[in-house]
Amino acid sequence: MARKKFYIDKTDKPQTGSKNIWNVALYVRLSREDSDKRESDSVTNQKKLLNYYIESHEEFLLSSFYIDENFTGTNFNRPAFQRMFKDAKNGNINCIIVKDLSRFAREYIGAGHYLENVLPNYNCRFISILDDVDTKTNPDSVTDLMVRIKSLLHDYNSQRISINVRATKDAQRREGKYISPLAPFGYKKDPDNKHKLIMDETAKPIIENIYKWYLSGMGNIRIAQKLNELGIATRSQYRKTGNLHNTMLAEYSWRPKAIQKILINKVYIGAVDQRRETTRNYKDRTRITLDEKEHFIVYDMHEPIISKENFNRVQKKKKTLCAKTSRYKNKLYTLSGLLKCKDCGYAMLRNQTFMKGRWYVYYKCRAYNQRGASVCNHNHSMREEEIVSATLAAINIQIQSLIDIKELIKEINFKRLADKKTNKNIINFERMIEEKMKKIKQIKNLKVSCYSDWKNGSIDKDDYLLMKDKFDDSLSKFQNEILALNEEKKLQNAIRSCEFDWIDNIIKNGKIKKLTHEIAVSLIDTIHVDQNKQLDINFKFVNEYEKLKYYINSIAFAV
């Protein structure tokens, strides 16, 4: 389609009631998460519908289509979306039309921010055809509770997709099936069974050397350097070329983090150790390392490369080294201990230089600074005051969304006041807990009688031990279920009374004017700095926040 452009004269902005022309941006989005949906969400159909709409209204002039294909709606890193907002800001367009809100966004807080703050600020009209939202003919439609709940539901849907995928994969991991699409360095997938690993004789010596070198006293950084010096291909390069010699050099180089991962991976002693890391949630894709007790580890699934004895020696050595480094304590600056390089994962180093009569304080990647480009590809340098002010802004956005969420809960509660269903839900919780307690009591009794059966000789020892394990398994299963139910009950009660200690603690002083180290560490887990000076801030309360939103969604269904 030819791209027509109409620029508006700033002095001739559309006024309510008068005959005006709107320069319209038609926004279309399609992603994998929509693939199982009906044909009605295809790009062609969205475009068709949008065209019908503007053709049936005389005040609209098509300025341009903005199409994001294969982009999720759970964040706003979509090129066409960003370009559209730039054009809205510059006044090239002054009206955005989408088929429905889920095309625009599947994320509640962000969508609200764009609709309620950004667009009015640009004097840009917004229309969502199927949701009946039009900021010009019905200015209240955006803030209307129903719309907000609808966007909450969109949010809920994208969360559900990710949780379902996770649950299926976890089931396979428990059985020790190797489910990652790619084999770890040193192994390849068995051509007859894609869930099984077999030895890759070519790459095996690299793994053996990495362990040997580490035990001989070399650190992760030195080992990575040595592999680069020897011109050994990285896992991804080896996979691409099938050649163990690095022909691409700087582009692919071994990083200390990769060595670290190899040195702790139990795959090399024949175990399938999965779910070692996870993403924070469906939206924040930051990888987080899980505690070993959360892993699914199944031993003796394939031929080992490293002996258990050497593997354990490496782990022991790692532990003593960690204890040593954590003893160093630096002076505490606002962001001390929080900043990490997004690419290599190393901590950021604080530096000061004196230039033109003043001190400049900045952070850069410690690995790049100390070991150069073979370790990390960029210095990631960023001024301290830039990071502090961006972090402060992000914190204040979070505070505002928590204030908003509390308000929304109050509104929902008000709507539900007359609804008796809510009380029934609480009683159900109690009953479910009671039933599980009964079950626990039953199992404990069974365990006792099984014990006396063994003692008086009516069953033998092996059978007793087998049964005992089974009893213990079910006991801990029921106990965990009760814990979860209690937690849910507590959360539901908190929602009903709209009392959340963790929210109140965060929002008690309103927006923050000056960021201190104390505030920063109380709210933030880590901040990753990428080479374009973008920050990924991981907030500590993200789990509570997600849980709360999940429950608001489930309540919204009942309203």
Q: Residue numbers of the site for Zn ion (CB under 5 A)?
A: 341, 343-344, 365, 367, 376
> Which residue in the block uniquely carries the two structure tokens 């559900």?
160
Least Å distance between CB 529 and Zn ion? Answer: 9
What's phi and psi for 529, nearest 5 deg? -105, 125
Provide the minimum distance between the beta carbon of 335 and Zn ion in the complex, in angstroms, as a whole number.
Answer: 16
Could you give the residue ranges of the DSSP H alpha helices within 349-420? 366-371, 384-416
Of 335 and 367, CB closest to Zn ion: 367
- Least distance from Zn ion to the Cβ atom of residue 380, Å: 6
**DSSP per residue, 168-226:** HHHHHHHTT---SSSPPTTEEEETTEEEEEEE-TTTHHHHHHHHHHHHTT--HHHHHHH
Closest C-alpha among 311, 298, 244 to residue 271: 298
User: Quick one: which H or E segment has residue 248?
Assistant: none
Residue 378: CB minimum distance to Zn ion, A: 7
Give me the least distance between CB of 344 and Zn ion, in Å please.
3
Tell me how far CA of residue 71 lies from CA of 97, 430, 497, in angstroms: 18, 43, 38
Identify the DSSP state of 142: T
Residue with smaller CB distance to Zn ion, 109 or 365: 365
| Shortest Å, Cβ 109 to Zn ion | 30
Q: Which is nearer to Zn ion, 267 or 349 (CB)?
A: 349
Q: How far is the CB of 94 from Zn ion (least distance, A)?
A: 43
Q: Which is nearer to Zn ion, 113 or 257 (CB)?
A: 257
Tally the residues of the chain: 559
| 95 versus 221: smaller Cβ distance to Zn ion | 221
CB atoms within 10 A of CB 42: 15
Which of 166, 115, 107, 103 has its CA nearest to residue 546?
107
- Closer CB to Zn ion, 97 or 341, in the complex: 341
**Nearest Cα residue to 27 out of 75, 95, 121, 106:** 95
Read out DSSP for 90-137?
A: HTS--EEEESSHHHH-S-HHHHHHIIIIIHHHTT-EEEETTTTEETTT
40 close to 99: Cβ distance less than 8 angstroms: no
Report how far residue 189's alpha carbon sits from residue 281's, in angstroms, rounded to the nearest whole number: 29
Complex with Zn ion: residue 224 or 367, whichever CB lies closer: 367
Q: Which CB atom, from 255 or from 276, has the smaller least distance to Zn ion?
A: 255
Query: Of 147 and 344, which has the nearer Cβ to Zn ion?
Result: 344
**Cβ atoms of residues 340 and 364 within 8 Å:** no
Residue closer to Zn ion, measured from CB, 115 or 365: 365
Q: Which is nearer to Zn ion, 113 or 364 (CB)?
A: 364
Rounded to a whole number of angstroms, the minimum distance from the CB of residue 174 to Zn ion is 35
Alpha carbon 196 to chain centroid, angstroms: 29
Side chain identity at 557, as an amino acid letter? F
According to DSSP, the residues that pair with 339 across neighbouring strands are 527
Minimum CB–partner distance for residue 534 and Zn ion (Å): 14
Least CB distance to Zn ion at residue 347 (A):
9
Q: How far is the CB of 364 from Zn ion (least distance, A)?
A: 8
133 vs 341 by CB, closer to Zn ion: 341
In this structure, the dihedral spanned by the alpha carbons of residues 530, 535, 536 and 538, taken in order and rounded to 10 degrees, is 130
Residue 177 or 255 with smaller CB distance to Zn ion: 255
Torsion of CA 273, 274, 277, 282, to 10 degrees: -170
Check: CB of residue 220 under 8 Å from CB of residue 258. Answer: no
User: Which of 422, 427, 417 lies closest to 554, judged by CA?
Assistant: 422
Residues 255/260/261/267 CA torsion (nearest 10 deg): 130
Residue pair 367/341 in contact (Cβ under 8 Å)? The answer is yes
Shortest Å, Cβ 337 to Zn ion = 17
Contact criterion met (CB below 8 Å) for 12 and 51: no
Residue 120: exposed, middle, or buried by beta-carbon count in 10 A (0-12, 13-18, 19+)?
A: middle
Q: Are 81 and 119 in contact (CB under 8 A)?
A: no
**CB closer to Zn ion out of 143 and 370:** 370
Q: In the complex, what is the shortest distance from the CB of residue 376 to Zn ion, in angstroms, rounded to a whole number? A: 3
> In whole angstroms, how close is the CB of 177 to Zn ion at the nearest point?
34
